[in-house]
Amino acid sequence: MEALTIDPSVTTPDSAPLAGMVGALTLVDSQSPRQLRQRAVALLQQRLGIPRVGCLVLDTSGRWLLDDDQGVRLACDDFTHPYAHAIRRGEPMQLALGEARSRLDHSAFQALVADCAPDWMLEVRPLRAPDDARQWLGVMSLVGPRDCLAPLTASTDFEAFESLLCQLWAWHLRQQGERQRQAKLQDSLTRFNANARRQILSDRLGQQIKGDSASIRNLRDQVVRAAETQLAVLLRGETGTGKDLVARGIHWASARAAEPFMALNCAAIPEALLESELFGYAQGAFSGADRAQQGLVGQADGGTLFLDEIGDMPLSLQAKLLRVLESGRYRPLGASEECRVDLRLIAATHQPLHQRMRDGHFRADLYYRLNQFPLALPPLRERREDIEPLVQAFIADFCEREDRELLGISRVALADLRDRDYPGNIRELKNLIDYACAMTHSGDDIDLMTLPRSPAASDEADDPHASQAAGATGKEGATGDLRQALRDYEATLIQQRLDLFEGNRTLAAESLGLPKRTLAHKCRQLHLDNS
């Protein structure tokens, strides 16, 4: 509502109380502290004919007085202007303008009163919240002839006016503060809810993407973050690190979860078939195409398309894929019209795409488009602390799948599993556990003997010249002294176990089925020192 303009010419002694009430209502009706100040100034100038009225606001730091409109900024501790004095004293101040001008040489103050008559008075009134004596609101300055200002500011009407102004001003500030508090509360509540939701999703993802290491927990958090966006995701990781699992996790945690998830391994499809597999074809596109067929891109509409081994995609298809990503359009083989699709793309690679780009096998523009949300999956050997929980989970999965009693695993077998390198990562570990479970009788624990040898150890064993142990026991191990050969074999085997268990004789003895004392005796006999 605009300020009511009160024309002093129509104010008669009889109508004065009414005009006062209208003025008060005008103030009460203000929608903001700024409007309140503007209306107060207008009332003083128009209703009471004070030539120059100003109202400065104390900012939230309490260090500056600011003008609503003109960008005036006066420091409260700068005593070259009168407002600082008034605020410091906490009481109204009257000054003869001529004297104030000559004594107080603050340029902004001088400019404010430049066109005022030198024999006028300046009255500066500090304003504070009525119910909180410590809360300063600002200052009001009145400039005019002495015989106009002095009786006015001494009157009870002016006192009432000023009190109303301060009450309303403080009320607006409280309202503003309350609104800000509400907004902050709402904001932190929203953030709290979002974080709680993320945590729940991340924990639930843990049922699929297993592991407790910091890197795998971080990976799950990133999966949730990626799922919140529509960005293309590029998964990098060695074979068997869980790229497919992670792609499904992103889809599951995203708003597209109820829509299709389509997956294709670009390396597994012959190049000639890849285009029709991805983009589909129109009827009659080639001999044998008796009816139109939708490709995976079309089938993934509304959902997620996962392209594994993206580095193996031929260049011609890379251009088509880029068009899908940039415009949501593609043309099935032999079709005259383009189709529209809305999908999120997740791509995976185990090879360095940069190298493929440098060699001219991969388009740079597609690479950067795919790499909007990069996610790296750590190899298992870099997070060995996950091996044990994974082993336990895979044993439990196997026993449930095969409807068998839950199997245990010996400490020795676990130690051996923790020590391997896993070039095949989690897939290798999972297959190994499945095999060991299948080879273990119900009621027994999985033992070292039931674990398949690691590929490196198998290769070594297959190599007649490989190791001392292999030399001593190998098929080709011709020897003329059986007792020495047996001693060598024993020494090598014991030494290997001691190395495996980092010198722990208890574990080494347990793994060899020997009492600890016997092992100690043999170590002495064979001059094995693991101290």
| Partners of residue 233 on adjacent β-strands | 346, 373
Tokens representing 258 are 């109820």
Closest CB 211 distance from ligand ATP, rounded Å? 5
Among 35, 222, 241, 440, binds ligand ATP (CB under 6 A): 241
Specify the stretch interacting with ligand ATP by CB under 6 A; choose among 195-203, 209-217, 364-372, 468-476. Answer: 209-217
Specify the stretch interacting with ligand ATP by CB under 6 A; choose among 9-17, 147-155, 243-251, 414-422. Answer: 243-251
Comparing every residue's Cβ against ligand ATP, the nearest one is 242
Specify the stretch interacting with ligand ATP by CB under 6 A; choose among 112-120, 368-376, 422-430, 499-507. Answer: 422-430
Instruction: Return the percent helix, strand and coil in the chain, to nearest 5.
Output: 50, 15, 35
Among 225, 427, 487, 522, binds ligand ATP (CB under 6 A): 427
Q: What is the dihedral of CA 494, 497, 503, 504, to 10 degrees?
A: -110
For residue 398, report the phi and psi dihedrals to the nearest 5 degrees: -60, -50
Burial class (CB in 10 A: 0-12, 13-18, 19+), 219: buried
Please work out the total of residues on this chain that contact ligand ATP, with binding judged by CB under 6 A: 16
SS3 518: helix
Among 46, 135, 239, 530, binds ligand ATP (CB under 6 A): 239
Closest CB 367 distance from ligand ATP, rounded Å? 18
Residue 378 binds ligand ATP, judged by CB under 6 A: no
Considering the complex, state which of residue 49 and residue 352 has its C-beta at the smaller distance from ligand ATP: 352
Among 47, 430, 497, 505, binds ligand ATP (CB under 6 A): 430
Report yes or no: 407 and 240 within 8 Å, Cβ to Cβ. no
Tokens representing 407 are 């199997």
Closest CB 333 distance from ligand ATP, rounded Å? 27
Among 237, 280, 295, 311, binds ligand ATP (CB under 6 A): 237
Long-range contacts of 92-96 (CB under 8 A, 24+ apart): 92/123, 92/124, 92/125, 92/126, 92/153, 93/123, 93/124, 94/121, 94/122, 94/123, 94/149, 94/150, 95/121, 95/122, 95/123, 95/124, 96/121, 96/122
Among 40, 56, 209, 451, binds ligand ATP (CB under 6 A): 209
d(CA 103, CA 101): 6
Which positions from 318 through 357 interact with ligand ATP, judged by CB under 6 A?
350
Residue 384 binds ligand ATP, judged by CB under 6 A: no
d(CA 20, CA 155): 13
Which positions from 495 through 524 interact with ligand ATP, judged by CB under 6 A?
none
Binding interface with ligand ATP (CB under 6 A): 209-211, 237, 239-245, 308, 350, 426-427, 430
